[in-house]
Amino acid sequence: MASSIQELDATVQAFYSSGPGEQQKQAQATLNQFKENPDAWLMVDKILQDAQYPQTKFLGLQVLDNVIMTRWKVLPREQCQGIRNFVVQFIIQMSSSDESLRKERALINKLNLVLVSILKQEWPHNWPTFINEIISSCHSSLPICENNMAILRLLSEEVFDFSAEQMTSTKTRQLKQSMCDEFTSIYNLCSEILRTATQPSLIKATLETLLRFLNWIPLGFIFETPPTGISLLETLRSRFLEVPEFRNVTLKCLTEVGGLQTEQQYNEKLIAMFTDTMTTISTVIPLSLDLKATYASSNSRDQEFVQNLALFLTNFFSNHLSIIENLPNPDFLVHGHFYLIRISQIDDREIFKICLEYWTKLVCDLYDEMQQLPITDLNPLVNMNTMSGLSNGGAAHPSQMAGYPLRKNKYGEVLTNLRQVMIEKMVRPEEVLIVENDEGEIVREFVKESDTIQLYKTTRECLVFLTHLDVVDTETIMSDKLSKQVDGSEWSWANCNTLCWAIGSISGAMNEETEKRFLVTVIKDLLGLTEQKRGKDNKAVVASNIMYIVGQYPRFLKAHWKFLKTVVNKLFEFMHETHEGVQDMACDTFIKIANKCKRHFVLTQPGESEPFIDEIVRNMRKITCDLSPQQVHTFYEACGYMISAQGQKTLQERLIGDLMGLPNQAWDAIIQSAHQDPNILQDSETIKVVGNIMKTNVSACSSVGSYFYPQIGKIYLDMLTMYRASSQLIDEAVQRDGNIATKMPKVRGLRTIKKEILKLISTYVDKADDLEMVHERLVPDLLQAVLLDYQNNVPDAREAEVLNVMTTIIKKLQGLMTKDVPGILGAVFECTLDMINKDFSEYPEHRVEFFKLLREINLRCFPALLQLDQRQFKFVIDSCMWASKHDNRLVEGEGLNMCHELVSNMSETDAEISGPFFQNFYTTILQDVFFVLTDSDHKAGFKYQSVLLAQMFYFVGSGKLSNSPIYTSDMAPAGTSNKEFLQNFVGNLLVNAFPNLTPAQIQKFISDLFDQANDINRFKLTLRDFLIQLKEFAGDNAELFIEDRENAAKEAKVQERERAMKVGGLLKPSEIDDDEL
């Protein structure tokens, strides 16, 4: 540790001032040593008073903050009191003048955070007078008052915003209650400042603090008029909203109020707040102002104001729209929404997302109201039309709703403008692969942005509801915009794209008749546009839009065979277009149409002499001659979907034979040549061709499915011979050139052949129906070909795909494989374990596949594990625990899940099997689970750790394991109950690991674990509270709550799909089962 402040200053300066190098490394090592010294905090007072370098003072506060969070409860009271007094005095000293407050702002902010850390430990029980003290000190000087506001803001944030993940649930409750109990005096202080203060920085600090209070204080403080005669709301609006310096934070405060859930008694106050605020806003931003044009040239403060206005309007309307809708004067409702229309037009994605969320909610609510209409009350003729429209999910004609007093009627003009905005702002769908880059070129897009995909989904949803609200208006707007593309008056890549993306996005929202009329016009106009436009970029843009639209309307294509055939032939044309991305998109659209309309390709359609699939297969070489190998594979997969729809077995087998004709010719020729010249596989071109043939088989098999057996049977034995031959050549190359050979192009090509052969088998088995046949005809030859080969390969030449194919077979065949498992484990277990047990990162694919395989064996063929000898079985348990210590979430999850399932399986076996297992492994597993549970690097595994721990405590607590001890003779006296042993064992484990915890804390924790072991949610809460108490878990504990968020998201997704299924067009065609289209 540095012996003087000067030395520490010099070390810190060396760390921050010197560039990367030895000096900086040395300084970092010294500073780490200083931070880890348990007595370093004793120097903090001198550091803050004497250090010359600012970063040294921050280091001192960092050390002090760490002591407060991790060792406060074990420090003597007088030391705690001393730290507290020192921090308070130092803050007062630093904030006693305006000059000091401005100059030392960063240091004071850090000191404030340290004070809040102390408050979380001390207040209210050891420091009940804190609030009174801070309010009293406000009257000593304005700078101190301003900083006290910052302290109160931080305290509110810690207690009400961040507490869930950083404090125990009990402590959080106590602090919230204390804050509420003392709020009157805090409110009076804020109110006095806002009424009388003139210093801008103090007013701003108070408004920012108030902003943090508004979401939790009693509503009376906000809405009631105090004895002084002016309410808080009125003060905010009349005194600060128009002042440029305060209007942003003031509007944020009003937004917070607008988002509150209130009783009816406050409706008049809310209406007054809204109308007065909008009146003031209209003087700052007139409704007639073109915000889209002015926003780009505005300064950052004005841009922030526009964003805050969007938040104010969307927040208020989301919570209190009905009271504004019911006003006698509709102007405020309409003007408020027109402000949102103007803001939505701005070219700023974040602002658009704010508006979009509200617009989607609004149009969804208006649609829901429309759905409540009593259809039977309509006149008979309208009733027939409406029912036919609703039966296929399409939008009803607006004339059918005309006589009803619907809320949507209040928004007619707003919704028309909103349709324009949504079409113009339509986001690129993920199916569109051709984009305009920053240089204005049309290129192939390779990276999918999840943010763009999500924004597309929401924009699309909004437009679907808008179409249901008035399908005629939507069609009219789209048709007008399309005609302006054709006549060139609005032609641009961006305009053409957004319009076509919008047209594609409302698939299913129109009824079939409207959809047919509309689409025929759209596609004819776009086909005409491809002929009319000159230049490859222009043609590529229109081509991509045609392909996107036709891919979105399978219902239309199914009902119009001639159109379907025309579209597919157009796609075949595009497959010869060499502009970047066009061929990819043509193949992607083809496979989408093939999947959704597959039956239509295998039937002989009216006016045709044969099914279209026959023509496609016959002309395959001509159609695909300009495609890359990957694109050809997509083409084969597409044809496979069509063939899977052919119900007659003989016709289907003939089609499979025809489809695979070209690759089979090449395969047969290579096999024939190999018999005459075994060295043929030394040729790089042959290796590439074989790899490609196997990939083609994989693609076709993935879509044909279990019917692909005739093709598999035809090439199976030759394929396994090819596998062995490839493997032998790899071995020879490794023996000749060493491990580096596995990275050479020729050997990598041979490895591709092996991988694709394994992938083909895996794909087929996964789809297979006749499991007995698979087990009898495919499995024996496969095991013979790959297992010994895997075992004998050098580690770098072993294929992780071998483990994957074994996992697939065991998962599919289940008990049929039990007798084969010992042989599989004998070949792959120890040699793979030896590859991955040196560290946590080498051979990542083998690592994941290895643990997946073990887990499947345990799940599907558990009796096979019981046949292992003691040494092998111990290896399995060790592997589970080794997996649980990985920072790869997938591996960690597999290990903990397998352990949980293994323990469950064992608990159901006979006592002579389960007894020795629990006696030898219970404490080992428990110890390892506690190790990862309390290691902050493994927070992400909390979900699995807690389930496994709950199970283990439940088994002991419920007496399920009472027939045999869970300890060996050297761990406890004979006759000790399992529960007593477990209490002592866990108690000692935790006392030794965490000396900062008291024995009483640990005993309470263990007792709660036993009590709550059969209630997993309460069990997890107890674990979380315990972990947050540990010094290792100071800081961000969001990952402990990840399961709650995942479950909520999963539940929301299910509900979302159920809702979407009821609204025509909300689900994309690709998300709907074929039979539902």
pLDDT digits (tens, 9 = 90+) for 731-758: 999 999 988 998 899 999 999 999 999 9
- For residue 1055, pLDDT beyond 90: no
CA distance 56 to 4: 12
Return the pLDDT at 375: 57
Q: Which residues of 228-262 are buried (b: 16+ CB within 10 A; e: fewer)?
A: eeebbbeebbeebbeeeebbbbbbbbbbbbbbbeb
Q: Which residues of 913-935 are buried (b: 16+ CB within 10 A; e: fewer)?
A: ebbebbbbbbbebbebbbbbbbe
- For residue 638, pLDDT beyond 50: yes
Return the pLDDT at 372: 86
CA distance 16 to 14: 6
Average pLDDT, the chain: 90
Return the minimum-mean-pLDDT range out of 38-47, 159-168, 524-533, 712-721: 159-168
581-592 confidence digits (pLDDT tens): 889 999 999 999
Percentage of the chain exceeding pLDDT 70: 94
Single out the residue of 990, 1000, 906, 890 nearest to residue 951, CA to CA. 906
Say which residue, 3 or 57, is predicted with more confidence. 57
The token pair at 522 is 């759209």
388-436 confidence digits (pLDDT tens): 334 346 788 887 777 788 899 999 999 999 999 999 999 988 877 767 7
The arithmetic mean of pLDDT across residues 250-271, rounded, is 94
Q: pLDDT-derived band of residue 1049, with 50, 70 and 90 as boundaries?
A: low
198-212 confidence digits (pLDDT tens): 999 999 999 999 999
Which CA distances in Å does 121 have to 110, 183, 278, 687, 1021?
A: 17, 20, 44, 69, 21
Single pTM value for the model: 0.77
- For residue 438, pLDDT beyond 70: no
The arithmetic mean of pLDDT across residues 798-827, rounded, is 96
Percentage of the chain exceeding pLDDT 90: 70
Return the minimum-mean-pLDDT range out of 23-27, 760-764, 811-815: 23-27
Return the pLDDT at 502: 97
CA distance 831 to 567: 54
The arithmetic mean of pLDDT across residues 313-317, rounded, is 97
Query: Domain 560-659 classified CATH 1.20.1440.250?
Result: yes
What are the backbone dihedrals phi and psi of residue 230, each rounded to the nearest 5 degrees, phi first?
-140, 130
Return the pLDDT at 166: 65
Q: Say how far residue 168 (Cα) sits from the centre of its chain.
A: 27
222-252 confidence digits (pLDDT tens): 998 776 678 888 899 999 999 999 999 999 9
Return the pLDDT at 368: 93
Return the pLDDT at 1009: 95
Return the pLDDT at 390: 40
Return the pLDDT at 561: 94
The token pair at 357 is 């969320």
Most trustworthy range by pLDDT among 385-399, 662-676, 928-942, 1026-1040: 662-676
Single out the residue of 856, 863, 672, 888 nearest to residue 766, CA to CA. 856
The arithmetic mean of pLDDT across residues 7-24, rounded, is 84
364-385 confidence digits (pLDDT tens): 999 999 988 775 444 333 443 4
Query: What angle do the packed helices 889-907 and 870-884 form, to 10 degrees?
Result: 140
The token pair at 321 is 């729209």
494-503 confidence digits (pLDDT tens): 999 999 999 9
- Tell me if 428 sits within 8 A of 503, measured CB to CB: no
Sign of CA dihedral 126, 131, 136, 139: positive
The arithmetic mean of pLDDT across residues 1018-1030, rounded, is 87
Single out the residue of 602, 545, 601, 614 nearest to residue 574, CA to CA. 545
324-343 confidence digits (pLDDT tens): 999 999 999 999 999 999 99
621-637 confidence digits (pLDDT tens): 999 999 999 999 999 99
CA distance 959 to 965: 11
- Tell me if 278 sits within 8 A of 335, measured CB to CB: yes
Q: pLDDT-derived band of residue 889, with 50, 70 and 90 as boundaries?
A: confident
- Neighbour tally for 1007: CB within 10 Å: 12
Distant-in-sequence, close-in-space partners of 185: CB < 8 Å, separation ≥ 6:
131, 132, 135
Q: pLDDT-derived band of residue 675, with 50, 70 and 90 as boundaries?
A: confident
> Tokens 């394929």 identify what position?
719
- Neighbour tally for 721: CB within 10 Å: 13
Peptide bond into 795 cis (omega under 30): no
68-88 confidence digits (pLDDT tens): 988 898 889 999 999 999 999
Q: pLDDT-derived band of residue 362, with 50, 70 and 90 as boundaries?
A: very high
